[in-house]
Amino acid sequence: MKRIYLDYASTTPIDPRVWRAMSPYFNKKFGNTMSLHSFGQEAKLALEESRERVADLMGARSNEIIFTSSATESNNLALKGIALRQAQGKLFKKDQNKGHIIISQIEHPCIIESARWLERQGFEVTRLKVNKYGLINLKDLEKAIKKETILVSIIHASNEIGTIQPIKEIGKLLQAINHKLRAKIYFHTDASQSFGKIPIDVNKMKVDLLTASSHKMYGPKGAACLYIKEGTNIEPILHGGGQEEGMRSSTVNVPAIVGFARACEICQKEMVKEVQRIIKLRNKLIKGVLEKIPNSYLNGHPKNRLPNNANFWFKFVEGESIVIQLDLSGISASTGSACSSAKLEPSHVLLAIGLKHQEAHGSLRVSLGRFTKEKDINYLLKVLPVVIKQLRKISPFR
Amino acid sequence: MNKLGIYTKKVIKHFQKPKNYGKIKNPDGVGKVGNVICGDVMWLYIKVGKNKKGFEVIKDIKFETFGCVAALATSSVVTELAKGKTLTEATEIDKEKIIRSLGGLPPIKIHCSVLAVDALSEAIHNYLMRKNRKIPEELEKRHQRIEKEKKLIEEKYKDWIKAEEKIHGRKK
């Protein structure tokens, strides 16, 4: 059976060019970057070149990039690293406000759970509401800020509904507030879904920290990074041999990082053309689904969304049934997000944008990518209406 | 390989080609269980007749289900198991029997088999109620538990339901 992959938001295959760039680093140039001999120095050189390439794609300096193993690790480092530094000395003292952190209701679970953990350690957390498109309100953010606020972390583009937040405006607002209060509230954004797909410039966005991930952009799993603006006060969470300027001890995963860097290079070169191609396909998909399937709706922002993301909900049917039925027809898509598909609770993001429980249960995410062809979309548009119709026949609601 | 992803081939077979789905016009009993909030709703319709020995049997049975793969498969399999059985035999169908008939269910989906048993019990309970007949103790106990669980879920999600009604400006 033909298999069509339409779940690029969950992970992407490695681009063959990335694979070629990586392969010597598994067995020929396998050195440890901390070694003084030529094997070590070869690896060290590859690491530093990779750092420059990744930095380049976000307009950062290479010394502002810390490599990690995953976006989850980067996000943990951003939140816990900033919080722990701010609370130094009072971490184990009871009844002291250790600092206030602001996130949104539609963050990835690794931000939500890190914030929840910090809350248990005595930090205060505000979770900003979003509107029906998934956008936060800048006025809400301004109102939420207090003198104890140390960090704001807002996801750049939603992994589920694709909505892109006005990061530049948030950055500007925080800069003005910092100036007025003579404070330093750090600003972090999780750009795991957007990096490599749409232009990102850390200076224009005025962020202090930014998370990016390799396996969402045709690089390998096991590599990610955290941009840390020079002068940012942050504590490491992994202590040891002092790799990554002491910010992240661990033997460096050179092959994965080389792959990540090559993936960045390719995205940089091909982004403009690729965005146009994907948007065209994606719009065809959205139009086709909404036209062909009665009682179907688009989740997220109609315009301000990732080029490759489409998220629908279908009245009277349940998401997992749609996904499995599609899979049996050779199409791989997902419900809300891959992480939550083992849970019974509907997606927190869909509930946050105001969907009812049964509506959120009936959602489907289709995410396109570099290897998606028009005929794949045509096939989905042929299969999906039949799947929905079939499931509705069995449903008690109609 | 007898598994496709997290589900057994038997589950997928029932999911893809469900048996006895749809509505029965003028049913003798209806069992409605589950809650849209949790993502599974099962409606079971039965028609009761008599067999040669004069015992009451489930002559016809149909289901309508909103839910995941496991919910649809357990609905289908419970109708298959119950069809032609006497009411007493049908009451004895338990979740283990359903799970066995499907070659197993992932642990997180076991509750779907419970839902199917509940739907069948409720349909029989409903039939006996309509006929003003004495309800066996076991069946009444189950009915009480199902009603209690319904209330608990409504209680648990009270805030959500309220918020949703507010957002959508209409009653559930």
DSSP structural state of residue A304: S
Query: In chain A, which residue's Cα lies nearest the Cα of B69?
Result: A321
Interface check for B110 against chain A (CB to CB < 8 A): the answer is no
Domain enclosing residue B97, as ranges:
3-133
For A2-58, what is each residue's pLDDT tens digit? 899 999 999 999 999 999 999 999 999 999 999 999 999 999 999 999 999 999 999
Confidence at A339, pLDDT banded by 50, 70, 90: very low
Instruction: Please give, rounded to a whole number of angstroms, the shortest distance from the CA of B47 to a CA of chain A.
Output: 18
Q: Which domains does chain A have, with CATH numbers?
A: 4-11+271-394 (3.90.1150.10), 16-265 (3.40.640.10)
The helix or strand, by DSSP H or E, that contains position A290, with its residue range, turns out to be: helix A254-292
A228, two tokens:
């840390």
- Judge whether residue A217 has pLDDT over 60: yes
CB of B18 less than 8 A from some CB of A? yes
Q: What is the mean pLDDT of residues A309-335?
A: 95
d(CA B81, CA B79): 5
| CATH number for B70 | 3.90.1010.10
Residue B72 at interface with chain A, using a CB cutoff of 8 Å: yes
Q: Is B68 a catalytic residue?
A: no
Element containing residue B59 per DSSP (H, E):
strand B56-66
CA end-to-end span of chain B, whole Å? 44
- What is the residue type of B60? D
Residues in A lying within 8 Å of B, measured between beta carbons: 316-318, 320-321, 324-325, 327-328, 342, 344, 346, 351, 354, 356-358, 361, 393-397
What local confidence, expressed as pLDDT, does residue A345 receive? 76
Q: How many domains is chain B built from?
A: 1
Check B21 against A394: CB less than 8 A apart: yes
Instruction: Give the amino acid at A192.
Output: S
Which site among B41, B68, B110, B156 would you substitute to test the A interface, given the most A Cβ atoms closer than 10 Å to its Cβ? B68
For residue A343, pLDDT beyond 60: no
Token pair of A248, please?
């992240």
Cα-only R_g, chain B: 17
Q: Select the residue of B16, B63, B66 nearest A316 (Cβ to Cβ).
A: B66
**pLDDT band, residue A340 (cuts 50/70/90):** very low
Rounded Cα distance between A282 and B131, Å, is 57
Q: What is the pLDDT of residue B166?
A: 62
B138 within domain boundaries: no
Q: What is the DSSP letter of B86?
A: B
Question: pLDDT higher for A398 or A301?
Answer: A301
CB pair distance less than 8 Å for A358 and B36: yes
Q: For residues A346 and A130, what is the distance between their CA atoms, to the nearest angstrom? A: 17
Distance CA B172, CA B162 (A): 9
Distance (Å, whole) CA A211 – CA A190: 5
Instruction: Select the more confidently predicted residue: A2 or A124.
Output: A124
Single-letter amino acid, residue B34: G
Look at residue A89 and tell me whether its pLDDT is greater than 80.
no
Average pLDDT over chain A, rounded to an integer: 95
Tokens of B89: 């035999």
pLDDT for B108 equals 86
Domain-embedded: residue B24:
yes
Q: For position B163, what pLDDT does the model report?
A: 62
Pairing type for strands A100-104 and A331-332 reads unpaired
CB contact under 8 A, B66 and A318: yes
Integer angstrom CA distances of residue A165 from A60, A131, A282, A344, B37? 20, 11, 20, 28, 29
3-state DSSP assignment of residue A331: strand
8 Å CB contact of A394 and B65: yes
The angle, 0 to 180 degrees and rounded to 10, between the axes of the packed helices A109-120 and A71-86 is 30
Q: Tell me phi and psi for residue A151, to 5 degrees.
A: -155, 140
More confident residue, A297 or B172: A297
Contact B168 A356 (CB under 8 A): yes
Q: Tokens in use for A90?
A: 């009072």
| Annotated active-site residue in A110, A264, A267, A339 | A339
Task: Look at residue B39 in the predicted model and tell me its pLDDT.
Answer: 81
* The model scores a pTM over 0.80: yes
Interatomic CA distance for residues B124 and A213, integer angstroms: 55
Q: Give A3's Cβ-side CA count (13 Å radius).
A: 4
Contacts of A54 (CB under 8 A, 6+ apart): A65, A212, A225, A260, A261, A264
Chain A contact for B19, CB < 8 A?
A: no
pLDDT of B168: 56
Give a yes or no: residue B122 inside a domain.
yes
Question: Of the listed B72, B112, B119, B120, which one is catalytic?
Answer: B112
Asked whether residue B10 is assigned to any structural domain, the reply reads: yes
For the range A49-56, what are the long-range contacts, defined as Cβ-Cβ under 8 Å and sequence gap of 24 or more?
A49/A261, A50/A257, A50/A258, A50/A260, A50/A261, A51/A261, A53/A261, A53/A262, A53/A264, A53/A265, A54/A212, A54/A225, A54/A260, A54/A261, A54/A264, A55/A227, A56/A264, A56/A268
* Tokens at B121, concatenated: 């019990």
Interface test with B, best of A1, A7, A313, A321 (most B CBs within 10 A): A321
| Residue A314 confidence class, pLDDT cut points 50, 70, 90 | very high
* Interchain pair A327, B5: CB under 8 A: yes
Between A344, A354, A396, which is nearest B39 by CB?
Answer: A344
Most B CBs within 10 A among A361, A383, A387, hence the mutation to make, goes to A361
Paired residues of A65 in beta bridges: A227
Does B153 contact A at CB distance below 8 Å?
no
CA–CA min distance A15, chain B (Å): 26
Which pLDDT does position B2 carry in this prediction?
Answer: 59
User: Could you report the predicted ipTM of this complex, rounded to two decimals?
Assistant: 0.88
Neighbours of A389 (CB within 10 A): 12
Helix runs in A293-373, H state only: 319-328, 348-352, 357-361
Verify whether the Cβ–Cβ distance A394 to B64 is below 8 Å.
yes
- Whether B107 maps to a domain, the answer reads yes
Say what the pLDDT of residue A341 is.
Answer: 46
Q: Catalytic residue at A339?
A: yes
**B1–chain A Cβ distance below 8 A for any pair:** no
- Asked whether residue A290 carries a pLDDT value surpassing 70, the answer given is yes
Whole-number percent of chain A with pLDDT over 90: 91
Q: Give the residue-averaged pLDDT of A161-189.
A: 97
Cβ burial of B10 (10 Å; 0-12, 13-18, 19+) is middle
Predicted pLDDT of residue A204: 98
How many beta-carbon pairs below 8 A join chains A and B? Answer: 67
d(CA B24, CA B22): 7
B21 in contact with A, Cβ within 8 Å: yes
Q: What is the pLDDT of residue A364?
A: 96
CA distances from A181 to A45, A145, A147, A174, A184 (A): 43, 11, 8, 10, 8
Given a cut of 70, the residues of chain B with pLDDT beneath it are 1-4, 160-172
State residue A177 phi and psi, 5-degree precision. Answer: -65, -45
CB atoms within 10 A of CB A381: 17
Nearest by CB: B66 against A325, A354, A395: A395
Rounded CA gap, B31 and B75, in Å? 12
- Of A55-59, A106-110, A118-122, B159-163, the one with minimum mean pLDDT is B159-163
Would you say residue B75 lies in a domain? yes
Would you say A68 and A248 are in contact if contact means Cβ atoms under 8 Å apart? yes
Helix axes B9-16, A319-328, angle to 10 degrees: 100
- A66: closest CA among A247, A216, A260? A247
Residues of B (29-48) whose Cβ lies below 8 Å from A = 36-43
Note the pLDDT of residue B171: 39
Which of B33, B36, B76, B77 to mutate against chain A (most A CBs within 10 Å)? Answer: B36
> A224-228 and A209-213 as β-strands: parallel, antiparallel, unpaired?
antiparallel
Neighbours of A280 (CB within 10 A): 13
